[in-house]
Amino acid sequence: MVEVKVQSLGLDRTSNTPVVILQEKDGSRVLPIWIGPGEASAIAMELAGMKFSRPLTHDLFASVIRGLGGTLIRVMITKVIENTYYAELIVQRGSEVISVDARPSDSIAIALRTEASIYTTDDLLENTSIEIADATASPEDFVGEPGEEGETNVGGLSPEELREYLRRMNPEDFGRFNP
């Protein structure tokens, strides 16, 4: 497992979807995960140190873990299947270790609140990450023809073109997310 940290939170300008960028702690590979606006707001509020008089959902979940005598020891982003990422919350309560299936976005929001470490697999970083790259690439460099029947195109890009576009993208190419 490779430890990662929240490098930034942005807004994909092509789809207006929030993106959390995870960067390996001792390296340059980054892993973008497109998330929902509610989870993006929860992550952004925690990163900004915003506190509320009443607990929000992720604060409540962190309190429940503590209230039941547990500690969130780590979050593991384990796999991606059909563009859906999967994560596990690893909770320790005494000598018992419990794995809870969760969405990565919720897991990240809770990990930030509990100061738990976030990990992913080297394989996931290798196969789905983007490397911080030269800022000279633009989306126009990768616009291609619509794919053949059965191929899924995103923004007019074939799967191969999309992968290459993401490899050349900088985290700064995403707009800032404002809750």
Has residue 57 been placed in a domain?
yes
Number of domains in the chain: 1
Gap between the Cα atoms of 153 and 159, Å rounded: 6
Has residue 81 been placed in a domain?
yes
Regarding predicted confidence, which is higher, 125 or 96?
Answer: 96
Taking only the tens place, the pLDDT of each residue in 26-58 is: 998 989 999 999 999 999 999 988 888 899 999
pLDDT at 174: 56
Has residue 144 been placed in a domain?
no
Has residue 161 been placed in a domain?
no
Full domain range(s) for residue 72 = 2-134
Dihedrals φ, ψ of 34, to 5°?
Answer: -75, 130
Has residue 146 been placed in a domain?
no
The CATH number of residue 74's host domain is 3.10.690.10
Which one-letter amino acid corresponds to residue 12? Answer: D
Has residue 62 been placed in a domain?
yes
pLDDT at 10: 86
Has residue 127 been placed in a domain?
yes
Taking only the tens place, the pLDDT of each residue in 127-171 is: 875 544 333 333 333 233 333 333 333 344 455 655 565 556 555
Helix or strand holding residue 123 (H, E): helix 122-128
Gap between the Cα atoms of 75 and 3, Å rounded: 10
Has residue 90 been placed in a domain?
yes
Taking only the tens place, the pLDDT of each residue in 72-102 is: 999 999 999 988 999 999 999 999 999 999 9
pLDDT at 142: 26
Regarding predicted confidence, which is higher, 112 or 126?
Answer: 112
- Between the alpha carbon of residue 150 and those of residues 2, 159, 162, 171, the distances in Å are 34, 11, 16, 30
